[in-house]
A = this chain, B = another copy of it.
Amino acid sequence: MTEPRSLRADARRNRDAIVAAARAAFDDDEQFRFDDFAARAGVGVGTLYRHFPTREALAAAVYQGEVTALCDRARDSLQSPGENLNLFLRGFVDYVVEHAGLARTLAAVVAPAVQSDGGSQLEDTVATLMTRAVADGAIRHDVAAGAVMVVLHGIGSATDRPDWASESRAAVELLIAGLANVA
């Protein structure tokens, strides 16, 4: 998914160091000049720019890692399809709430890049969970994954609201209620 093209050992090391440094900085909600990420990762500016031509590219790489971690959780659950979906949605909020700084930064920077890589990974996971839940009769069949994504998007980008954490949880419950099969 990332780059099957083999990177020279030092290049890969530097790349990873940069992503790790950026992740840490984002998570702490620190504000950095783009060049500073280089210093922080112990590499030169040139290196930073070769690996990540733009701030968005860097954010996308961090985002990618986060999303993968998040989606991996969806596989381990042994509940019914309906419960599975609900657990994933609630887990999503918990994760995002736990990493507010990260969410804030990523939401601000990553939007356009998201379509390409990690965005679809998240969407695929949601879509799969929903398809199974529909087959199980647990949720309505007439709702596309995209609608759910829009709500999740809101959770990720409303971090500046004073009462964001609890409101986000409430929004997910609202979402789950809306999805429920009322047949």
Binding site for B on A (CB under 8 A): 107-108, 111-112, 114-115, 143-144, 146-155, 157-164, 166-168, 170-171, 173-179, 182
Give the chain B neighbours of A152 by CB distance below 8 A.
154
Given contacts A143-B174, A151-B174, A154-B158, 7 further A-B pairs with CB under 8 A are A108-B108, A111-B159, A115-B161, A146-B166, A147-B173, A149-B161, A150-B154
* Contact residues of A: prevailing secondary structure: helix
A86 to B150, CA, bound (A): 18
Give the chain B neighbours of A146 by CB distance below 8 A.
161, 163, 166-167, 170
A163 to chain B, nearest CB (A): 6
